[in-house]
Amino acid sequence: MRGEWHTRDVRGLLDALARGEVTPAGLVEHFLERIAEHDPALNCFVTRTADEARTRASRPLAGALAGIPLAHKDIFCTAGVRTTCASRMLSDFVPPYDATVVRRLDEAGAIVLGKTNMDEFAMGSSNETSVFGPVRNPWDLERVPGGSSGGSAAAVAAGLVPAASGTDTGGSVRQPAAFCGLSGLKPTYGRLSRYGMIAFASSLDQAGFLARTAEDLARLLVVTAGADARDATSSPEAVVDYPAALEAPIRGRTIGVVKEFRDAGLDPRVARLVDEALAVLERSGARLVDVSLPRLGLAVPIYYILAPAECSANLARYDGVRYGHRARDVASLEELYARSRGEGFGPEVKRRIMIGTYVLSHGYYDAYYLKAERARALLQKDFLRVLAEVDLLAGPTTPTVAFRIGEKNDDPLTMYLNDIYTNAVNLAGLPALSIPMGFVDGLPAGLQLIGAPFAEAPLLSVAHRYQQATEWHRARPPRFA
C-alpha cells in the first residue's frame, strides 16, 4: 500500500515514527518516490542525495527530528555534496564542510534528501534567475513559486519533503511561503548562524524555514537557533523552548495594523483576506491597534542600494583563481578575472554587482550608500517605536498572489516592488513569518506577522493559535495531493 506520509506535517511524521507506524527508511523511500515522480514537472531539486539518505536512514538516529526527511536550499554548504547557489560560477563547487544550520539539523536526526533550486545567489523574487531554469508553482505550473527559496517552497507544497531550509535577505522565505501556501519563518538577524551560508548581503541575510505549520517551524528553529563561535554576528541571546511556548494564550496580545501596508499596490482581494485574518485574531482574543510606519515607502529604494552594495563586496571573491568557474585560454590575469566573472554570473547578479560597485564608488558613496544607511537606521527606529507599543505587527506578505512565469522578467523594477512588505523587515533585523490566509482565484495568499527582536516565541504562538482557528494551512495543491 502506498503511504500518505506526504500529507502529514513534521509533527504528524514524528508521531508516526514514535508509534512505530513507519521507519525512517520507509519515509526516505516514500519521499524519494514522490521526488522521482513529481520533480520533473516542478524543477525543485538541483541535487538529490538518495544514497546518502538511505545510508543514514539505515543507522540509528537520535534527536528531536530523528528520521524526518528535509531538503536544503542550495545556498547552504553541505560537506561532500555539490553546492551551486544556482550559478554557473559554483556549478562544480563541493564544500569541505557543513553550514551550521545543516550540521545542527543533522545532529537533531534529520535526513537530507537533496539541495533545492533557487534564484542565482538568492537574488530574485521568482526563481527565474537560476542557471537550472525556473521552478514551477505546484498550485499552477504556469506561475512562479516565488523566490529566492522557490525550490524549497515548491518541494514542501507538493509534498516532496515535509519541510526545507531557505534564506531570507529581503523576503526570500516569506514570499515563496505566501505564493505556495506554506508557513515560512525568517528569524531575527543573528538568531541563526550564517556560517556556511553563501553570502549575498551580510547585514541582511538570515536562514529560515518553510513548513506546513507554525508548530513545525518552532521545532526546526529550536534545534538550529543559538550562538555559533564560527559566526561573530550570531547572537548569544538565550534560545527559548519554542515548541513549548506555542500554546501561550493570544488573549491580551496587541497586534499593530500597519496603515502603510494598505498602499495603492496592494491587490484589494489580498487586502480583504488580511481583514478576515485580522478578524480571526481579534475573535481569538487579540487586540488590534492602528499603527503607522511613515518611512516604509523608503524600504525598497534603501534595500536596492544596500543589498547590491554588500553583494558587490561579497561576490568579489569569485575571481576564477581560488574556486568557482575559471575561464579557459586566457592571456592575462586581467582577462582571467573578467572572463571568469563574465561567464560565471548571470544577468541579474551582474546588474546587482554593477549597481553595488557604483553606489560604493568614490563620489557616490556619500550620496547613495551612506544616505541609505542613515535612512535604514530611521526605518529601524520607526519599527522599534511601534513595537514598543504593540506585541506584533500584521499585514500582507506580498501585494499580489503568484504571478506568471515571464511576467515581470523584462522589468526589474516591477520585480523589486514585489518585496515591498518584506524587505523593510530585513533592514530592521526583525523576526517575521508568513502563514496561509486564504486564496485569490485558487492561488494562496500569505499573512505576515512581524515581531520585536528575538520575539520568535510570541510570533510562532500567535501563528499557531491562528492555525488552530483556521484550515488554510491544510490546503494542498490538487495536482500533488
For residue 228, the 8-state DSSP code is: B
Smallest distance from ligand GLN to CB 200, Å? 6
Smallest distance from ligand GLN to CB 138, Å? 20
- State the Cα angle at 398 between 137 and 394, rounded to 5°: 130
Smallest distance from ligand GLN to CB 294, Å? 23
Residue 148 is a catalytic residue? yes
Smallest distance from ligand GLN to CB 210, Å? 13
- Omega before 148 within 30 of 0, i.e. cis: yes
Nearest to 473 by CA among 157, 2, 173: 157
Nearer to ligand GLN, 265 or 442 (CB): 265
Nearer to ligand GLN, 169 or 461 (CB): 169
Give CA–CA dist 137/153, Å, rounded.
Answer: 9
Nearer to ligand GLN, 123 or 180 (CB): 123
Of 126, 149, 152, 172, which one is the catalytic site residue? 172
Give CA–CA dist 129/149, Å, rounded.
Answer: 12
Nearer to ligand GLN, 200 or 345 (CB): 200
Residues that bind ligand GLN (CB under 6 A): 122-125, 148, 167-172, 200, 307, 419
Smallest distance from ligand GLN to CB 390, Å? 25
Of 125, 148, 234, 461, which one is the catalytic site residue? 148
Q: What is the full DSSP assignment across 260-303?
A: GGG-TTS-HHHHHHHHHHHHHHHHTT-EEEEE--TTGGGHHHHH
Nearer to ligand GLN, 250 or 309 (CB): 309
Smallest distance from ligand GLN to CB 172, Å? 3
Report whether 191 contacts 237 (CB < 8 A).
yes
Nearer to ligand GLN, 137 or 470 (CB): 137
Give CA–CA dist 163/155, Å, rounded.
Answer: 8
Residue with cell 541579474: 348
Residue 106's SS3 state is helix
Cα R_g (the chain), whole angstroms: 21
Q: At what angle do helices 456-469 and 214-224 cross, to 10 degrees?
A: 160
Give CA–CA dist 23/154, Å, rounded.
Answer: 25
Residue 172 is a catalytic residue? yes
Nearer to ligand GLN, 127 or 193 (CB): 127
Smallest distance from ligand GLN to CB 234, Å? 19
Q: Which residues contact 99 (CB under 8 A, 6 or more apart)?
A: 76, 77, 78, 193, 195, 196, 197
Residues known to be catalytic? 73, 148, 172
